[in-house]
């Protein structure tokens, strides 16, 4: 392990620092304030060969080592944490897995433009229910001939939507748990691949972060990264390396804040002396410098191991966890040294203080990293006695639904919808106060962002009246657009609608909204975007324009009389799924008829849940009667 | 040739050189396997081959051992017993092993490894030189008759094997193709109206004894098709019930159905329990409503007064099951619980359920039954139309009943 960087490393540092000071620092404040992605700067980084540092030149990379890579991220983050993470996510999380697991063809097609900076990359692992526990992945990739059909979504994705190339994970076999996850390379602009709203973040505001949505995205099998079922392994090893980048980002942000605090403390005079000479301040500065040096050595140490192709997972985790934990302390002290000035917008330390926080969270929270480190030094914990989880094949968020998309002219579609609802038992002569609290409403008409201007709400209220429904909305309509009070929005975090009839108009179907309606008896979706996720989660859907469909629907539901008020409308039933056999073989013992179900594994022999029978070791015997594996049918 | 070999015994010739030595056991006060009532009695069948060598196939239960030993002696007619094939160690067929070994000490016992192991566990020890251990698909010739042995593990014990006489096409099938019921002199399938008088008994026997082992039954039927070849099998000689020589496919088809858990009929079984008649009244009303909507195949069974083995038999037969159950100690009524547990232990699957629950202060049975069917059993579809009776059926239940009836009708039609 080297205790000193080489001349070449320091030459690179000078070059990147000069660039960062000249091109990045001047725009960082504005980009932060306005959440502007530094398109120009990233382009320049590509031209300088800094978007593919650790990759061979034959794939468009710079052919440098991982310390060089860490130095680049560090120097960029020193002036702007956002630019640091853009390079880190691009290099470590997208280009690297393609380099490490891609076929020659995939490397030529995807790595080369990434490493040469012609394209930007991103990585999609995190989902609503799969954060630290990637085993909760719900995005599915169902085989269909030479293709996989991706459905689901990812959240908190760095560099989306500016990235061109995405490495994402999806479940290819729901019965195999972690081993049923595979990785795929997809491209921006593929049919069915869309983006959600960009998040409004605390820090790193110039880096773009948004949701990925997959709606029947057809991915050719040649775009599967690694082997079937290797997705989890690929994701984990990708994150191992990514941690060097994030550690370097944390180090850079802290370094920038430290330098600013040092300079400020030498200039700021109180009690006739620069405050730097006040022991309270000088000790702070000493501690900051010590922590920075420790972080830097840890990061370069992990990078050296990686270059030497030695195991570096634990060291990378330690470096990221340490650099970000002490990084938070450093930016805190740096801001403190600045006093009131540091609390003002426009000060680098103010931005560094906000930018730093994310580094203890992403690419493995520091809590998860301690789990990783502990597993390296202690080993795997003994098995806990837990009841076997029966995992069922995933259905949509809203469970089993009819998913009837109505066809025909606008009038025919509306008529079919009303006929279907009536045949399901809905009586449209009864009514309800439009402002009935959501939990007490038997029916609800919900406004999504797709309804357009606020004036269109009047039309929805008319529809609600004719449908005997209350009025509600999605979260953005209440929270961002403020069309309705916040207590009218439906979603996992808001109020749940568990009653009879839900009619969503212009609702796209964000996961958290669908979770709030998953026990509704009937879900009707009206939206002009045929790819809206809600159509996969509805009983009846009409693809059509709001202004055309809604008036027709109001007319069709109008019985010409005032609606009758009914205390307790009857509960309408949901479609019942027919239970199907497992989609894998259950092996049965010839000695006692014990059933080996791969979903449950065999706790007695420490066989993990999800282990296929074929993968049981030769010496495995029936846990009940001791028959050999060959005696199973 | 008269089939009567000897009028003083029940020995009968069933095929060339092969004699029936079985005994009817009509006493109805005993439970079969200590669990299933058999008011129709049962026959314990054993067979003797008189070739160049004499060969005994299995014995009988304790209760009828004397009659069997007399039959054996009579059938041998002074010849020594050379071989004794033990196909199945369950004591209703193996009880007589010690009697046979004592009466014919020179006999050689033919069995597989597991059978000899179980024999030892049951207290029967055969001298090493008298053991002839066979492996899967071994063959032995006894003169004119050549036999092949096929193992049928877990139909319904692990050691079970069947013996096929390639000369006559006789398949000594152990418990497979058996039935409850005494034969009353009619030994062959073509001597009775099987579909009318025996089908129910054969089903109750099969599903309660072997029901759990569907995949194993399929596996041995596969061997019969692929190795022995079905067209070579002329006669089934089971250890209970009739000797099949006419319509073998009738029973093979039934076995295929039962062992794959496919219902035999589209129809509704209503299993209920009622403490004071309120749930019963609801069931009667419900059955009427079903009938009004055109459902004709309805069977109503009171679990308190019907042995579970009959409920199981009906559950294998019918496609749809409605459980009507009072809440008892904040749980499922115990006799309904028995029924559910038995269904689970027999691995029944692929049925559609409706639930009617009753409860006077905290109706809970419905949730618990639904949870049991959903979590503990396989491929059970539960209609989303719970009928909840609070103490007694009232106007308020009308929509629920109508809804469950409609769903059943719809599901029956699909």
pLDDT tens across A481-510, in order? 889 888 888 987 667 887 899 999 999 888
| Contact assignment for B381 to A577 by CB distance below 8 Å | yes
Please check whether residues A528 and A601 belong to one and the same domain. Answer: no
Q: What are the φ and ψ backbone dihedral angles of A600, each rounded to 5 degrees?
A: -95, -20
CB < 8 Å from A in window 124-163 of B: 153-154, 158
Can you give the pLDDT of all 414 residues of chain B as single tens digits?
A: 334 444 467 789 999 999 999 999 987 678 999 999 999 999 999 999 999 999 999 999 999 999 999 999 999 999 999 999 999 999 999 999 999 999 999 999 999 999 999 999 999 999 999 999 999 999 999 999 999 999 999 999 999 999 999 999 999 999 999 999 999 999 999 999 999 999 999 999 999 999 999 999 999 999 888 888 888 999 999 999 999 999 999 999 999 999 999 999 999 999 999 999 999 999 999 999 999 999 999 999 999 999 999 999 999 999 999 999 999 999 999 999 999 999 999 999 999 999 999 999 888 999 999 999 999 999 999 998 889 999 999 888 888 899 899 999 999 998
A573 is a domain residue: no
Residues 6+ apart with CB under 8 A from B204: B36, B180, B309, B310, B312, B313
Q: By the CB < 8 Å criterion, does B394 face chain A?
A: no
Find how far residue A308's CA is from the centre of its chain: 32
Residue A535 belongs to a domain = yes
Asked whether B272 and B323 are in contact (CB, 8 A), the reply is yes
Q: Which of B209, B160, B162 has its CA nearest to residue B42?
A: B209
- Please tell me which residue of chain B has the smallest CA distance to A424: B403
**Domain stops at, among A363, A379, A395:** A379
The chain A residue lying nearest B346, using CA atoms, is: A593
Return the ∠ at Cα A344 (arms to A343 and A349), rounded to 5°.
65
The class that CATH gives domain B265-413 is alpha beta
| Nearest CA distance, B383 vs chain A (angstrom) | 6
A614 and A532 within one domain: no
Look up the CATH number of the domain holding residue A598.
2.20.28.10
Alpha-carbon radius of gyration of chain A: 28
Interface test with B, best of A426, A569, A578, A579 (most B CBs within 10 A): A579
Residues B153, A577: C-beta atoms closer than 8 Å: no
Residue of A nearest to B397 (CA): A570
Residue of B nearest to A627 (CA): B158
Contact between B384 and A590 using a beta-carbon 8 Å cutoff: no
Contact across the interface for B379 and A579, Cβ inside 8 Å: yes
Residues A448 and A313 in one domain: no
Question: Rounded CA gap, B15 and B4, in Å?
Answer: 12
Residue A76, φ and ψ in degrees, nearest 5? -70, -45
Out of A591, A625, A633, closest to residue B215 by CB: A633
Residue located via tokens 């809804």: B403
A448 plus A594 within the same structural domain: no
Residues of B in contact with A613 (CB under 8 A): none
Same domain, A437 and A297: no
CA pair distance A117, A51, nearest whole angstrom: 5
Beta-carbon separation of B216 and A577 below 8 A: no
Query: CATH number of the domain that A481 lies in?
Result: 3.40.50.1220
Question: Could you say which of A537, A565, A593 is where a domain stops?
Answer: A565
User: Which phi and psi (to 5°) does residue A486 adopt?
Assistant: -60, -25
Whether A394 shows a pLDDT value over 70: the answer reads no
Q: Is residue A213 part of a domain?
A: yes
Query: Same domain for A412 and A373?
Result: no
The C-alpha atoms of residue B363 and residue B331 are separated, in whole angstroms, by 9
B378 and A590 within 8 Å at the Cβ level: the answer is no
Cα distance between residue A395 and residue A535, in whole Å: 13
Q: How many domains does the structure of chain A reveal?
A: 3
* Backbone angles phi and psi of B84, in degrees to 5: -135, 110
Q: Which helix (H) or strand (E) holds A390?
A: none
Q: What is the value of pTM for the model shown? A: 0.62
Residue of A307, A301, A342, A347 whose CA lies nearest to A323: A301
DSSP A29-58: HHHHHHT---HHHHHHHHHTT-SSTTS-GG
Residue A148 maps to a domain: yes
Q: Confirm whether A384 is domain-assigned.
A: no
CA distance B158 to chain A (A): 5
Same domain, A533 and A606: no
Tokens linked to B20: 């029936």
To the nearest 10°, report the CA torsion of B174, B180, B183, B189.
Answer: -70
Q: By the 8 A CB rule, do A575 and A401 touch?
A: yes
Region(s) of chain B under CATH 3.60.15.10:
12-259
| Widest distance between CA atoms in chain B | 78
- A165 plus A93 within the same structural domain: yes
pLDDT band at A511 (very low <50, low <70, confident <90, very high): confident
B399 and A631 within 8 Å at the Cβ level: the answer is: no
- Residues A152 and A272 placed together within one structural domain of the fold: yes
Q: Report the distance separating Cα B69 and Cα B63, nearest Å.
A: 12
Q: Where in chain B is the domain with CATH 3.40.50.360?
A: 265-413
Q: What is the distance between the terminal CA atoms of chain B, rounded to a whole angstrom?
A: 54
For residue B414, give the chain A residue with the closest CA: A578
Mean pLDDT of chain A: 90
Write down which residue in A565, A599, A614 finishes a domain. Answer: A565
Report, in this order, helix, strand and coil percent for chain B, each rounded to 5: 40, 25, 35
The answer to the question of residue A394 being in a domain is no
- Whole-number Å distance between alpha carbons of B412 and B414: 6
pLDDT tens per residue across span A142-172: 999 999 999 999 999 999 989 999 999 999 9
User: Would the CB atoms of B383 and A633 count as touching at under 8 Å?
Assistant: no
At residue A383, the pLDDT reads 60
Q: How far is CA A520 from CA A312, A397, A538, B67, in A?
A: 49, 12, 10, 69
Instruction: Determine what percent of chain A is predicted with pLDDT higher than 70.
Output: 96
Run of H or E including B315: helix B308-317
Question: Residues of B numbered 214-243 whose beta carbons fall under 8 angstroms of chain A's beta carbons: which are they?
Answer: 215-216, 219
Q: Do A633 and B384 touch (CB under 8 A)?
A: no
Are the beta carbons of A581 and B379 separated by less than 8 Å? yes
Q: Does B403 touch chain A (CB under 8 A)?
A: yes
Q: Judge: B381–A625 Cβ closer than 8 Å, yes or no.
A: no
- Rounded-to-integer distance, Cα B265 and Cα B248, Å: 21
Give the best residue of A424, A498, A576, A597 to mutate against chain B (max B CB count within 10 A): A576
Which of B153, B379, B384 is nearest residue A590 as measured by Cβ atoms?
A: B153
One domain for residues A367 and A429: no
- The answer as to whether A44 is a domain residue is yes
Q: Alpha-carbon distance A430 to A568, whole Å? A: 11
**Which residue in B212, B381, B399 is closest to A576 by CB distance?**
B381
Contact A573 B380 (CB under 8 A): no
Which tokens is A222 given?
A: 């040649």
Instruction: With beta carbons less than 8 A apart as the criterion, state whether B203 and B313 touch.
Output: yes
Q: Is B396 on the interface with A (CB under 8 A)?
A: no
How far CA A210 is from CA of A36, A96, A130, in Å, comes to 14, 21, 16
Give the range among A204-213, A432-441, B365-374 with minimum mean pLDDT. A432-441
Going by pLDDT thresholds of 50, 70 and 90, the confidence category of residue A388 is very low
What residues contact A624, with CB distance under 8 A and at least 6 apart? A589, A591, A592, A594
pLDDT of residue B4: 44
Query: Three-state DSSP class for B343?
Result: helix
Burial of B414 (0-12, 13-18, 19+ CB in 10 A): exposed
Interface of B with A in 291-310 (CB under 8 A): none
Looking at the fold, whether A189 and A229 belong to one and the same domain comes out as yes
- Output the DSSP codes for B149-209: EEE-TTSSSTT-EEEEETTTTEEEEETTT--SB--TT--BGGGS-IIIIIHHHHHHHHHHH
Cis peptide before B159 (omega within 30 of 0): no
Beta carbons within 10 angstroms of residue A373's beta carbon: 16
| Contact assignment for B213 to A574 by CB distance below 8 Å | no
DSSP structure class, residue A103 = -
Note whether A163 and A266 are same-domain residues.
yes
Residue A303 lies in a domain: yes
Helix (H, G, I), strand (E, B) or coil at A366: helix
What would the DSSP string read from start to end of A77-117? Answer: HHH-HHHHHHHHIIIIIIIHHHHHH--HHHIIIIIHHHHTT
Nearest to A579 among B213, B380, B384 (CB): B380
Of B213, B383, B385, the CB nearest to A593: B213
Contacts with B375 from chain A: Cβ below 8 Å: 390
Distance CA A184, CA A150 (A): 10
Residue A182 pLDDT > 80, yes or no? yes
Q: Is B407 on the interface with A (CB under 8 A)?
A: yes
What's the gap in Å between the CA of B305 and the closest CA on chain A? Answer: 31
What number of other Cβ atoms are within 10 A of residue A471's Cβ?
Answer: 24
CA of B18 vs chain A CAs: smallest distance (Å): 31
DSSP notation for A160-207 = TTT-SEEEEEEES-GGGGGGGEEEEEEETT-TTEEEEEEP--SS-TTS
Give me the sign of the Cα torsion angle A187, A193, A194, A198: negative
A363 is catalytic: yes
- A530 pLDDT tier (thresholds 50, 70, 90): confident
The radius of gyration of chain B from alpha carbons, rounded to an integer in Å, stands at 24
- Measured in angstroms, the CA of A575 and the nearest CA of chain B are apart by 8
> Cα(B6)–Cα(A625) distance, rounded to whole angstroms?
46
The answer to whether A625 contacts B375, with C-beta atoms less than 8 Å apart, is no
Q: Read off the pLDDT of each residue in A578-605 and give the average, rounded to a whole number.
A: 87
**Contact list, B213 vs chain A (CB under 8 Å):** 593
Residues 6+ away with beta carbon under 8 Å from B220: B150, B152, B155, B162, B176
Q: What gap in Å lies between CA B161 and CA B164, rounded to an integer?
A: 10
- Residue in A576, A591, A625 closest to B384 by CB: A576
Region A290-314: what's the mean pLDDT? Answer: 95
pLDDT at A424: 84
**Contact in structure between A183 and A167 (CB atoms under 8 Å):** yes
CB contact (8 A) between residue B216 and residue A592:
no
CATH annotation of B12-259 = 3.60.15.10
Q: Which of A363, A412, A455, A548 is catalytic?
A: A363
CB-CB contact of A256 with A288 (8 Å): no
Q: Give the CA diameter of chain A.
A: 92
State the nearest Cα–Cα gap between A589 and chain B, in angstroms: 8
Asked if A593 lies within 8 A of B212 by C-beta distance, the reply is yes
Instruction: Determine the structural domain holding residue A443 and report its residue range.
Output: 404-565
On the CB side of B111, how many CA atoms lie within 13 Å of its CA? 31
- In total, the C-beta contacts within 8 angstroms joining chain A to chain B are 47
Residues near B30 by Cβ (< 8 Å), separated by ≥ 6?
A: B38, B63
Question: What average pLDDT does this structure show over A399-409?
Answer: 87
Chain B environment of A590 (Cβ under 8 Å): 153-154, 158, 216
Of A573, A579, A593, the CB nearest to B381: A579
């Amino acid at each position: 392990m080297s205790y000193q960087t080489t001349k070449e490393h320091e030459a690179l540092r000078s070059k990147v620092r000069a660039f960062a000071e000249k091109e990045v620092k001047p725009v960082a404040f504005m980009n932060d304030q306005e959440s502007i992605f530094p398109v120009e700067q990233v382009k320049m980084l590509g031209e300088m060969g800094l978007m593919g540092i650790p990759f061979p030149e034959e794939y468009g990379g710079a052919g440098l080592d991982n310390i060089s890579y860490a130095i680049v991220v560090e120097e960029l983050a020193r002036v702007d944490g956002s630019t640091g993470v853009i390079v880190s996510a691009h290099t470590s999380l997208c280009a690297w897995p393609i380099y490490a697991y891609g076929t020659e063809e995939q490397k030529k097609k995807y790595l080369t433009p990434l490493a040469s900076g012609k394209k930007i990359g991103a990585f999609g692992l995190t989902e609503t229910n799969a954060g630290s526990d990637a085993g909760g992945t719900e995005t599915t990739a169902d085989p269909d001939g030479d293709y996989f059909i991706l459905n689901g979504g990812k959240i908190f994705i760095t560099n989306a939507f500016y990235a061109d190339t995405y490495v994402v994970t999806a479940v290819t076999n729901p019965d195999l748990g972690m081993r049923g996850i595979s990785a795929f390379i997809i491209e921006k602009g593929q049919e069915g691949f869309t983006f959600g709203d960009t998040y409004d973040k605390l820090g790193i505001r110039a880096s773009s972060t948004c949701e990925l949505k997959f709606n029947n995205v057809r991915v050719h099998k040649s775009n599967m990264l690694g082997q079937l079922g290797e997705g989890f392994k690929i994701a984990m090893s990708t994150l191992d390396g990514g941690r060097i980048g994030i550690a370097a980002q944390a180090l850079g942000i802290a370094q920038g804040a430290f330098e600013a605090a040092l300079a400020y403390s030498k200039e700021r005079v109180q009690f006739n002396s620069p405050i730097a000479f006040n022991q309270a301040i000088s000790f702070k500065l000493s501690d900051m410098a010590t922590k920075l040096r420790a972080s830097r050595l840890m990061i370069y140490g992990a990078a050296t191991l990686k270059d030497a192709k030695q195991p570096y997972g634990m060291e990378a985790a330690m470096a990221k966890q340490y650099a970000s934990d002490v990084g938070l302390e450093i930016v805190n002290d740096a801001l403190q040294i600045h006093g009131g000035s540091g609390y003002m917008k426009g000060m680098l330390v103010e931005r560094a203080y906000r930018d730093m926080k994310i580094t203890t969270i992403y690419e493995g929270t520091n809590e998860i990293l301690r789990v990783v480190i502990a597993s390296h030094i202690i080993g795997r914990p003994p098995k806990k006695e837990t009841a076997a989880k029966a995992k069922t094949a995933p259905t949509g968020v809203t469970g089993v639904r009819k998913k009837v998309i109505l066809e025909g002219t606008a009038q025919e579609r509306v008529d079919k919808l009303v006929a279907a609802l009536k045949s399901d038992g809905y009586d449209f002569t009864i009514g309800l106060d439009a402002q009935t609290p959501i939990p007490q409403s038997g029916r609800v008409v919900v406004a999504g962002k797709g309804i357009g201007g606020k004036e269109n709400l009047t039309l929805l209220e008319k529809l609600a009246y004719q449908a005997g429904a209350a009025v509600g909305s999605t979260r953005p309509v209440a929270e961002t657009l403020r069309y309705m009070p916040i207590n009218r929005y439906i979603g996992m975090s808001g109020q749940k609608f568990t009653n009879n009839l839900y009619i969503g108009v212009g609702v796209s179907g964000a996961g958290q909204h669908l979770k709030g309606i998953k026990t509704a008896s009937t879900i009707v979706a009206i939206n002009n975007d045929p790819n809206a996720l809600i159509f996969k989660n509805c009983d009846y859907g009409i693809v059509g324009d709001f202004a055309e469909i809604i008036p027709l629907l109001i007319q069709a539901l109008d019985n010409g009389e005032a609606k009758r008020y009914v205390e307790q409308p009857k509960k309408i039933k949901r479609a019942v799924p027919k239970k199907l056999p497992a989609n894998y073989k259950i092996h049965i013992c010839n000695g006692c008829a014990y059933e080996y179900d791969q979903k449950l594994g065999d706790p007695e022999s420490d066989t993990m849940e999800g282990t296929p029978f074929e993968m049981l070791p030769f010496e495995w015997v029936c846990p009940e009667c001791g028959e050999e594996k060959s005696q199973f049918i | 040739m008269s089939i009567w070999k000897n009028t003083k015994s029940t020995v009968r010739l069933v095929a060339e050189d092969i004699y029936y030595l079985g005994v009817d056991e009509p006493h109805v006060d005993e439970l079969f396997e200590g669990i299933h009532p058999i008011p129709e009695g049962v026959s314990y069948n054993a067979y003797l081959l008189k070739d160049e060598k004499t060969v005994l196939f299995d014995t009988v239960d304790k209760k009828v051992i004397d009659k069997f030993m007399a039959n054996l002696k009579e059938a041998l007619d002074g010849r020594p017993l050379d071989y004794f094939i033990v196909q199945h160690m369950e004591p209703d067929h193996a009880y007589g092993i010690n009697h046979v070994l004592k009466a014919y000490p020179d006999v050689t016992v033919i069995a597989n490894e597991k059978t000899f192991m179980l024999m030892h566990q049951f207290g029967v020890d055969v001298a090493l030189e008298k053991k002839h251990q066979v492996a899967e698909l071994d063959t032995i010739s006894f003169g004119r008759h050549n036999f092949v042995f096929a193992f049928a593990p877990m139909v319904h014990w692990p050691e079970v094997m069947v013996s096929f006489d390639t000369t006559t096409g006789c398949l000594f099938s152990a418990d497979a193709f058996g039935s409850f019921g005494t034969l009353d002199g009619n030994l062959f399938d073509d001597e009775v109206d099987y579909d009318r008088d025996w089908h129910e008994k054969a089903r109750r026997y099969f599903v309660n004894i072997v029901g759990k082992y569907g995949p194993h039954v399929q596996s041995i039927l596969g061997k019969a098709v692929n190795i022995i070849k079905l067209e070579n099998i002329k006669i089934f000689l089971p250890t209970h019930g009739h000797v099949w020589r006419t319509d073998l496919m009738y029973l093979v088809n039934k076995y295929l159905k039962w062992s794959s858990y496919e219902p035999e009929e589209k129809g509704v079984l209503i299993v209920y329990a009622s403490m004071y008649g309120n749930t019963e009244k609801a069931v009667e009303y419900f059955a009427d409503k079903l009938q009004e909507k055109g459902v004709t195949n309805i069977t109503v069974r009171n679990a308190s007064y019907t042995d579970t083995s009959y409920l199981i038999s009906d559950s294998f037969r019918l496609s749809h099951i409605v459980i009507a159950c009072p809440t008892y100690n904040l749980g499922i009524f115990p006799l309904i619980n028995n029924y559910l547990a038995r269904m689970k232990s027999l691995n029944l699957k692929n049925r559609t359920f409706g639930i009617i629950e009753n409860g006077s202060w905290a109706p809970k049975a419905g949730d618990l039954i639904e949870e049991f069917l959903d979590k503990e059993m396989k491929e059970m579809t539960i209609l989303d139309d719970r009928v909840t009776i609070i103490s007694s059926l009232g106007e308020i239940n009308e929509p629920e009943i109508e809804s469950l009836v409609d769903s059943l009708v719809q599901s029956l039609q699909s």
